[in-house]
Amino acid sequence: MEFGFHMPVDLIFGTGAVSNNAKKLVLGSKALIVTGRNSARISGALDDVVSVLTSENIDYYVFDGVMNNPTLENVSKGASFGRENGADFIIAIGGGSPMDAAKAIAALMTNDMNPIDLISTVPKNQSLPIAAIPTTSGTGSEVTPYSILTVHSMNTKKNFYSPSSFPRVAFADPAYTYSLPYEITLDTAFDAFSHLLESYLSKRSNYFNDVIAIEGMKAFAECMDALNTGEITEKTRESLMYSSCLGGVAITHTGTTIIHAMGYSLTYFKGYSHGRANAMLIGSYLDFNRTAQPEKVEKVLSILGFESIDEVDKYFMVGMDKRPVLDDGEIDKFTGLAMGQGSVMQNPRTVKADDINKLYRELFGGKG
């Protein structure tokens, strides 16, 4: 058996994580808080952070302009704001968008570079240190080095990461997700599940990583009824955050596969949330990869408590009447963009453009 495992994030999980570990939040002398418009405030996370910084006598500046699916322009603006104010560490609060944006901002603040170069080169200088505080349970970004950025010049999302993009510390407090609306809870939980599933089936998976992915899928499975009915308890919130953290650790070691590669266009061009875009692809993904990983596909079915892939597909369509219909031009364009994502290489079954095209056509060709 041979494998490597590197997880440099100091992860603190549990209610009161920030307030109970105040010293760990202080990674410098002047903080740039990176967040979106609402979630940091509504969740109570921003209040907790400000209270710690005030009691520790740390100056801070708030950049609350992170957009959903942050663009290069957006992170560039955040970096300029941070630089103007002389911040020397970053506190990211929010869902995937603020945490991903913070990683790009942390790199741009220490490197004089064109933002577009983030996706093709590893920045020369180390990023500023980041403390990450998730307010959703989905992306797992608090424990990954990944930063998913929308690149308009390429009509898609691209992944930026460098060895210094891992948050230095992550505070995963399920209480920050108590106020999340049902739709976002569902979408983000589906994103977390797709991370666990894709990691488990990835060509880069190994025994050690499999244990993490399986544990995360089991935690997700415990929440499936609640996600279906919308009756989400605090215990469920805790399990969802646990599965999301495990999903982040899992994809740190394997990356994602074709679910993410194919889903990006459904978000970029059709406006579906990231988790929902992935969820629409999960059933077909299992079916397509069954021949490559028969035992693992069976294991996933048993963890989810289903006997057939049809049942899986039906579950992940909860709250949706049907899939959108794409025309031939869209299917061809989305196929080309999916094949341009590095993650297709990690898919358990080797994929060609024809395979991706066929999968899009079967799901979104308007025949189903």
Nearer to Fe ion, 99 or 105 (CB): 99
Residue type, 164: S
Q: By C-beta, is 78 or 255 nearer to Fe ion?
A: 255
Smallest distance from Fe ion to CB 96, Å:
7
Considering beta carbons, is residue 191 or 238 the nearer one to Fe ion? 191
CB of 141 to Fe ion, least distance (A): 9
Contact string 88-107 vs Fe ion (x = CB under 5 A): --------------------
Count of residues that bind Fe ion according to CB under 5 A: 1
Residue in 141, 144, 171, 174 with CA at minimum distance from that of residue 241: 174
Contacts of 90 (CB under 8 A, 6+ apart): 31, 32, 33, 34, 82, 102, 105, 106, 128, 129, 130, 131
Residue 27: both structure tokens together:
């990674």
CA–CA separation, 259 vs 177, rounded Å? 25
Secondary structure (DSSP) of 5-56: -----EEEESTTTTGGGHHHH--SSEEEEE--SSHHHHHSHHHHHHHHHHHT
Within positions 185 to 244, which residues make up the interface with Fe ion, using CB under 5 A? Answer: 191
Q: Please list the residues that pair with 10 across neighbouring strands.
A: 169
Which lies closer to Fe ion via its Cβ, residue 9 or residue 25? 9
> Among 271, 251, 247, 252, which residue's Cα sits nearest to residue 190?
247
Among candidate residues 190, 188, 171, 180, the one with its CA nearest the CA of residue 234: 180
Name the residue nearer to Fe ion (CB basis): 43 or 97.
97
Query: Which residue lies nearer to Fe ion by CB, 49 or 282?
Result: 282
Per-position DSSP letters for 54-98, written without gaps between them: HHTT-EEEEE--PPSS-BHHHHHHHHHHHHHTT--EEEEEESHHH
- Least CB distance from residue 219 to Fe ion, whole Å? 17
- For the CB of residue 274, give the shortest distance to Fe ion in the complex, in Å: 6
Cβ closer to Fe ion: 26 or 345? 345
Evaluate whether 100 touches 146 at the Cβ level (below 8 Å).
yes
The residue (of 237 and 276) whose beta carbon lies closer to Fe ion is: 276
Q: Which of the residues 60 through 79 are near Fe ion (CB under 5 A)?
A: none
Q: Could you tell me which of 239, 240, 285 has the C-alpha nearest to residue 259? A: 285
82 or 263, CB closer to Fe ion?
263
Spatial separation of the C-alpha atoms in residues 134 and 39, rounded to whole Å: 10
Q: Between residue 172 and residue 191, which ones bind Fe ion under the rule CB under 5 A?
A: 191
Q: C-beta of 187: minimal distance to Fe ion in Å?
A: 10
Closest contact distance (angstroms) between CB of 199 and Fe ion is 11
User: In the complex, what is the shortest distance from the CB of residue 345 to Fe ion, in angstroms, rounded to a whole number?
Assistant: 17
Kindly report the number of other CB atoms within 10 A of residue 58's CB atom.
18
Amino acid (1-letter code) at residue 127: S
Query: Measured from the CB of residue 309, what is the shortest distance to Fe ion in angstroms?
Result: 21
**Nearest residue to the partner Fe ion, using Cβ:** 191
Rounded least distance, CB 300 to Fe ion, Å? 17
Where on the chain is the footprint of Fe ion (CB under 5 A)? 191
